[in-house]
Structure 1
Amino acid sequence: MEVRAVTFLLFMGHLASAAKLGVVQTEGGAVEGRSKSTGLFSSVDVFKGIPFADVPQRWEKPKPHPGWNGVLKATQYKERCLQINLLQTKTQGSEDCLYLNIFVPQGTKLSRNLPVMVYLFGGAFLLGASNDVEFLGQSLYDGVELADRGTVIVVTVNYRVGTLGFLSSGDHRMPGNYGLWDQHAAISWVKRNIDKFGGNSDNLTIFGQSAGAASVSYQMLSPYSRGLFRRAISQCGVALSPWAHQREPLSLLKKIASKVGCWRTDVDLMLTCLKMTDPVGLTMAGKIDILLLLGQGVVMDLLELAPVVDGDFIPDEPSKLFSNTGQFDYMAGVNSMDGHIFAGVDVPSINQNEANTTQAQVRAVLAGLTKEKSGPILDRAEELYSATWGSPPDPSKLKKSVADIETDFLFLVPTQIALKLHAKYSSGGRTYSYLFNMKTRIPGFPKWVEAEHAEDLQYLFGKPFSFSLAYFPRHRDLSGYMIKYWSNFARTGDPNIGESRVPVQWPRFTNSHQPYLTINHRMSKSSVSYDLRADYVHFWTSTYSNQTITQLNQD
């Protein structure tokens, strides 16, 4: 009996280890990754640093990679695209950076026909990488847990950022959007090659957070994306977000040129000089100068590098391109305090227990965002956000209002508008709205702070499982819920239907019916609500008019 048991275990172990892709033939050549065990009969094949395009030329669209001989050992992440570091003191990365990483879950048999999820990182279009924020040898965007628990292929990609990715002259001479073209090239490479890794090339979902979420939105809006992918997820950002659209590219180009000694009255000569300038100097010239605020304005004004209307990839104002998005299933949402990190820069006292935040400071934030120094619009905004303060004003509610204002203006309202426009122009694509509001895990913040910007990512990428000692069971519950909803959506276009059973049914968002799902560790029927922050969305969409609102209200 014991001999038979040992034989059986050895046989099963052989089956488990047999499910490895080994060498995979791509259009550029053969690649070989490594297998990471995730259980007795499961593993994830990990391929790092596969080139999806050639080394990009300065301010040119990416070109196909020429290929390689032999077997490429895809076992190490490649350098990020050249960018400033987080402290903005120096640069890091390389111009040779257009690489992607693939995570393929395996059971006792090789996976086939799996849904594919392509992730676009965030970082204000200034910084970030496909393997960003490493901790104990693992990237925040490591796809092993999501791939394994969701039974999906996860792909993470690099793209150009900063001045090399988004500087533009505003015309055909330097149209811009090079980072968006890189993303498009990566998604296209996945479309052409992922079947060799066991993926279904007809079932691609793109997803991203912050600037990556806005990038997802831009990819949906572009006419070049027709038929390229089927579904999209925007986490905390859309193309309509005020920080995601560069409106005066030539003015910014002249400012960058002045910093590197290239300013000329003749734009052609200025561009020639820029193209000959050291890339490190160009990259440093795009950094954010927080000192320029000096208590005046808002930090959003310093986020200048972003996609532009180039007449090509983005042929018109984003709000006018939503007819292109109706073919895609779309899921979008925000974190309950996405704006808190920016509010804390604009009004530092909101995070200081010993300091008071004044009504004048709240009004100044509203003025900085709306560009209205006085008048009825500003008065109505102040009246709306002060309604819950009480008399005399509750200090914590007043502070929280600053975070709410910036969350609404920068993230929540633009996302709600994008969802409404998607539902309006839907040609079969389904729409889903969510609010992520798990309590922050960041130490030192006041008790009223909920889900901070980017806090959703640790749960989606399964960190409570891979770093279990750093989390509690409630965090693993939440992580499991998110992986189920996201992977179901990638598989079927419906977050409720797939291989994973979800805790709550998530209703569709339509023109006449606008539910949203509140996502945290306590999921129940009460997690479904309707008309997210309706009074605030109505205020911004009816009072603070712009081209987006006009398009939304058109018949």
Structure 2
Amino acid sequence: MLLVWIVLSLPVVLNAAPAVQFPFGTVRGVDRRAQGTGRVYYTYHGIPYAEPPVGRRRFQPPEPYRGADPGRVINSNDFPAICMQPESEEFGATSEDCLFISVYAPPTNATKKVMVYIHGGGFTEGGMRGYVPGRMVTDHEVIVALIQYRLGALGWLSSGDDVLPGNLGLRDQLLGLKWIKDNIARFGGDPNDITIFGLSAGGISVSSLSLSPLAKGLFTKVIIQSGSVAAPWAINKNPRALMYQYAEAIGCKPRFYFPGVTRMYHQNILNCLMRKKASDLVFEIGSGDGDVLGRGLFSSSGLNPVLDGDVLPMDPVSIIKDETYLRDNGVFDRSYVIGVTNNEGLLLANIIAAVPFLTFDQLTLPSNVIGQVRGSAKAQFPLGVSEEMLNVVDFMYTFPRNADGSIPFQKVIDLPSDIGFVAPSIALARAIADNAPVYFYLFDHYPQALLSLVPVRYQHLLRRVPKSLRGLDGNCQK
């Protein structure tokens, strides 16, 4: 009987995740098995990299975690709370105290490459719970780390001055990367071989970090998936207007404004926001209003990165044209994979169509959409664009037409795809390619089985189908 007990216990002992020691205590890992293969990997959840951004630290840059309790034990049985966002069963409980890192490691002694994932979610939602990279860790013998960062107003609201400069979410990511650089060797990772990667808003974050002078030396490789900071919708160029709108909606806008006291006005707004409950600060505002005629298909008025003069010192479109800046700030010291998927603009095209309940094979657009196409093209050239160029855009994105004069929906998908994803990604790749290794991809696989699981409608597609796998149904496929 004793021999049987020893034999049955042996795999558990061999696969038990080792505890990792830190000045703040011990992180006790948990061994998991990869889906499909059953191979063992170690999971470490709830590792604090910053002081909780609560109380006086709300709306402030993150501070490195200073906890020092050798007797403390962090168990990794479950994910930590995610950052404040609309309640979601998919991602779990929310909390303002959310600045944690998760680490996934294979059970080998060799020093391993490190991959750091920055999650997407439009800068307003997401977290660790949706990403379990067991197969990546075990199939490729790499360490994967995930960083949670502040979302929504708590992470991206900005007054456009020093009262609330903005980009707190990016600053969280930077501090998380520094923590990984300093500590990943404790898990068997190579601090000199770190790849950052992200999708959609995560791709914008990754490309922003790649261009930020504050990120120099923190990572060596970059994978940017379907999101470039050079896109016209990636940067909020008018954050002050959004802050005023947000303050009014939440009851924090002062009754009077006097010219010459702008900073005091902003401080009063911030003081009011500091008194609010965290749950009161979570609601959607300033984006997705469908005002495509006035703003073009792509321009950001939402809770996005801003030009703060520090994390992002100037417009990314200007940065990628400045070879001296790119060289001095370590952009050419890394290698890159940059890519897009087919039909990236599907969701935004649906906003133009304003027909969210029709299946894709029913969709056409009336000829008056031409005005929106021209308006969107003009919005991308603030210094002006010739009538001849607008005519070319008209032709490329509105012809050939259907017999009734309407525009095939595929054409309207192509326009936001090219403006918001393809062209900015190519521009970023070209800016770097002469001085650093750059690989570009187009993901064009169409998974028929995936879309057959749910009705092919816009709302369902947004929530249930991974962005990297979105496509049209078979009747509309290119």
Distance 2:248 2:374 in 1: 32
Distance 1:201 1:103 in 2: 15
Given that residues 285 and 302 in structure 2 are in contact (C-alpha distance below 8 angstroms), is that contact kept between their aligned partners in structure 1? no
Q: Look up the match of 1:59.
A: 59
What letter is aligned with 1:84? P
Per-residue deviation, residues 387-429 of structure 1 (Å, max 9, x unmatched): 5x2674897x8210111111111111110001011114x2xx3
Are residues 1:340 and 2:341 paired?
Answer: no
Are residues 1:430 and 2:437 paired?
Answer: yes
Q: Look up the match of 2:466.
A: 455
Q: 1:326–1:294: structure 2 CA closer, same or farther, 3 Å change rule? A: closer
Per-residue deviation, residues 475-501 of structure 1 (Å, max 9, x unmatched): xxxxxxxxxxxxxxxxxxxxxxxxxxx
What letter is aligned with 1:358? P
Between 376-385 and 226-235, the greater mean CA deviation after superposition: 376-385
Distance 1:187 1:341 in 2: 31
Q: Look up the match of 2:262.
A: none
Alignment of 1:69-468 (within 5 A): 69-85=71-87, 93-106=94-107, 110-131=108-129, 139=130, 141-264=131-254, 265=257, 266-284=265-283, 286-287=284-285, 290=288, 293=291, 300-301=298-299, 303-322=301-320, 323=326, 324=329, 325-349=331-355, 351-354=359-362, 356-368=364-376, 370-371=378-379, 375-387=387-399, 389=400, 392=403, 398-424=408-434, 426=435, 429-440=436-447, 441-442=450-451, 443-445=454-456, 455=466
Distance 2:186 2:217 in 1: 20
Query: What is the TM-score normalised by the length of structure 1?
Result: 0.70
Given that residues 211 and 312 in structure 2 are in contact (C-alpha distance below 8 angstroms), is that contact kept between their aligned partners in structure 1? yes
Shift of 1:267: 2.8
Given that residues 223 and 313 in structure 1 are in contact (C-alpha distance below 8 angstroms), is that contact kept between their aligned partners in structure 2? yes
What letter is aligned with 1:43? V
Q: Look up the match of 2:47.
A: 50
Q: Secondary structure at the match of 2:103?
A: strand
Distance 1:362 1:451 in 2: 26
Per-residue deviation, residues 128-168 of structure 1 (Å, max 9, x unmatched): 1122xxxxxxx3x1111111112111111210011110111
Given that residues 55 and 96 in structure 1 are in contact (C-alpha distance below 8 angstroms), is that contact kept between their aligned partners in structure 2? yes
Query: What is the TM-score normalised by the length of structure 2?
Result: 0.80
Per-residue deviation, residues 172-222 of structure 1 (Å, max 9, x unmatched): 221110000111111111111111111111110000000111100111111
Q: 1:390–1:248: structure 2 CA closer, same or farther, 3 Å change rule? A: closer
Q: Look up the match of 1:501.
A: none
Unaligned runs of 5+ in 1: 1-5, 132-138, 460-555
Distance 1:117 1:40 in 2: 21
Shift of 1:21: 3.7
Given that residues 298 and 346 in structure 1 are in contact (C-alpha distance below 8 angstroms), is that contact kept between their aligned partners in structure 2? no
Given that residues 364 and 408 in structure 2 are in contact (C-alpha distance below 8 angstroms), is that contact kept between their aligned partners in structure 1? no
Q: Secondary structure at the match of 1:330?
A: strand
What letter is aligned with 1:130? M
Q: 1:94–1:458: structure 2 CA closer, same or farther, 3 Å change rule? A: farther
Distance 2:292 2:226 in 1: 27
- Alignment counterpart, residue 24 of structure 2, candidates 16, 23, 28: 28
Q: 1:376–1:85: structure 2 CA closer, same or farther, 3 Å change rule? A: farther
Distance 1:33 1:160 in 2: 25
Shift of 1:317: 1.8
Given that residues 337 and 451 in structure 1 are in contact (C-alpha distance below 8 angstroms), is that contact kept between their aligned partners in structure 2? no
Shift of 1:363: 4.2
Distance 1:58 1:254 in 2: 18
Distance 2:307 2:292 in 1: 31
Per-residue deviation, residues 275-319 of structure 1 (Å, max 9, x unmatched): 3233322222x4356566499766755651111111111122223
Q: 1:279–1:220: structure 2 CA closer, same or farther, 3 Å change rule? A: same
Shift of 1:274: 2.6
Q: What's the RMSD between the two structures over aligned residues?
A: 3.4
Q: 1:17–1:145: structure 2 CA closer, same or farther, 3 Å change rule? A: farther
What letter is aligned with 1:173? V
Percent same amino acid at aligned positions?
A: 28
Q: Secondary structure at the match of 1:242?
A: coil
What letter is aligned with 1:433? F
Unaligned runs of 5+ in 2: 258-264, 321-325, 471-478
Distance 2:16 2:352 in 1: 51
Between 167-176 and 300-309, the greater mean CA deviation after superposition: 300-309
Shift of 1:18: 1.9
Shift of 1:458: 7.4
Shift of 1:112: 2.5
Distance 2:313 2:177 in 1: 20
What letter is aligned with 2:14? A
